[in-house]
Every structure is written in structure tokens, then in C-alpha cells.
Amino acid sequence: MDKCEIASALENLVNKSLMGVWRGSRAPFYRLLDTTRAYALERLVISGEHDAIAERHASFLVRVLERNPVNLSDLGSTEPPASVLRD
């Protein structure tokens, strides 16, 4: 997916109240609602893909953290960690 398609998909989820969006000073912060997260987790387990997706997610996070050596304890309390990360 390109960036435009991703933005459209996120907007669609927000419009359907499946995802919340918080607009910060840097960039919007998106989060699946708890009910949506629980449903998605249930569907992943049923499909048998939970372990594979969890492994991909962990690998992605390791790569992001390796590229962004940030001491999280140095962040101010109002600055979410995601705001200092780059993809």
C-alpha cells in the first residue's frame, strides 16, 4: 500500500468509529479502540495467524527501535514516544 492508501484506510476506520485519532503538535496518533482490538485478536487466533503476525510485529518494532536510539526516560511526560520515532 502507498501512503495515500494507508491514510484513506485510517480515515475509513476513524469514520466508522473503529479507531480513535488524537491530533498532536507533530502528527496524528491513531489507536484501535479496545473493542476493535479484542475482536481483531479473536479473529487472528481463530484464523491461526496470531503467532505469525505477532512475530512480524515484534520484528518491525525491533527494526524501528534499532533505527531510533531514544532513551525513553529522557522524554517529557507530555511527549509520546511515537512522536520521536521515524519509519
What is the predicted pLDDT for the residue at 67? 86
What is the predicted pLDDT for the residue at 72? 65
Report CA 56 to chain centroid distance, whole Å.
Answer: 13
Spatial distance between the Cα atoms of 24 and 39, rounded to a whole number of angstroms: 27
What is the predicted pLDDT for the residue at 59? 95
pTM score: 0.58
What is the predicted pLDDT for the residue at 75? 62
DSSP-assigned letter for residue 83:
G
Tens of pLDDT, residue by residue over 16-72, are: 999 999 887 778 888 999 999 999 999 999 999 999 999 999 999 899 888 877 776
List alpha helices for the chain, DSSP H: 3-15, 34-47, 50-67
